[in-house]
Amino acid sequence: MSRNANRIILLGGPGAGKGTVAMTLVDRFALQHLSTGDMLRAAVAAGTELGKTANGFMSHGALVPDDVMVGLIQERVQQADCRLADGTPRFLLDGFPRTMPQADALDRHGLGPDVVVYLVVKDEILVRRLTGRRSCPKCGNPHHVEFAPPLHEGLCDRCGTALVHRVDDQEAAIRKRIDLFHSQTDPLVQRYAPLLVTIDGEQSQERVARSVIEGLRALEATGS
């Protein structure tokens, strides 16, 4: 990968496959995976103040306020596992930024991305994927009742934990999340145009993974 590709952002609607691509990139490039959705769900499960604040927004498919999210990421990236030995910030952001003010905050703190991977998936496919999605609350491995059923019913193929149907993976919340993606997150595609690796997210998981790796390698080859 390019010498400079220390910070990668994953963009895409809910259910576009960001979590799955993240696993590929983490395995391949040893980046620290920062999923704001996972961080918030952990806070909800732990019953922290952040979790209590976030839960009301998340359960309805609404966005958690920008100042809360920016504070969360700012604090997280200070930690040693998000830095190279010389202090350079290095991480993979999944689910952040989701709004223009969040992207502004990254730039303000010198944390802007080197590469932005954009997964394109049509809305009706996002809805089908999310209504049938069953998530592992422990390792994040996604399953689907129709497209990727677990080997043992209700249990994660990777770690054996009981799978959950997320409250925000119910139809009303899904529609809201998709609407918010178009109104709040779509504009980031324009903003990051020069850094964008655009991937057809409707391909098989294997093809998506291969396309992402090839896209990053192509960037490396051009040195951009």
Structure-token pair, residue 223: 């040195």
Q: How far is the CB of 29 from ligand AMP (least distance, A)?
A: 21
Amino acid at the residue 72: L
For the CB of residue 197, give the shortest distance to ligand AMP in the complex, in Å.
Answer: 19
For ligand AMP, the closer of residues 38 and 220 by Cβ is 38
Residue 166 is a catalytic residue:
yes
Using the minimum distance from each CB to ligand AMP, give the nearer residue, 130 or 216.
130
Q: Measured between alpha carbons, how far is 16 from 64 in angstroms, rounded to an integer? A: 20
Q: Which residues in this chain contact ligand AMP in the complex, by CB under 6 A?
A: 14, 36-37, 40, 57-58, 61-64, 69, 95-96, 98, 102, 168, 177
Catalytic option among 41, 129, 133, 134: 133
**Closest alpha carbon to 73 in 46, 103, 115, 45:** 103
The helix, strand and coil proportions of the chain, stated in percent and rounded to the nearest 5, come to 50, 15, 35
CB of residue 185 to ligand AMP, shortest distance in Å: 9
Q: How many CB atoms lie within 10 A of CB 206?
A: 9
Query: Please, what is the minimum distance in Å from the beta carbon of residue 53 to ligand AMP?
Result: 11
CA 51/CA 43 separation, integer angstroms: 4
- Residue 96 or residue 118: which is nearer to ligand AMP going by CB? 96
CA 126 to chain centre: 14
Element (H, E) at 211: helix 205-222
Is 90 labeled as catalytic in the residue annotation? Answer: no
Residue number, 112 or 210, with CB nearest to ligand AMP: 112
Catalytic residue among 166, 175, 176, 191: 166
174, 131 in Cβ contact below 8 A?
yes
* 129 given a catalytic annotation: no
Please confirm, yes or no, whether 133 is among the known catalytic residues.
yes
Examine the residue annotation and report whether 177 is marked as an active-site residue of this protein. yes
Instruction: Give me the residue whose beta carbon is nearest to ligand AMP.
Output: 37
Cα–Cα distance measured from residue 76 to residue 39, given in angstroms and rounded to the nearest whole number: 10
Q: What are the catalytic residues?
A: 18, 98, 133, 166, 177
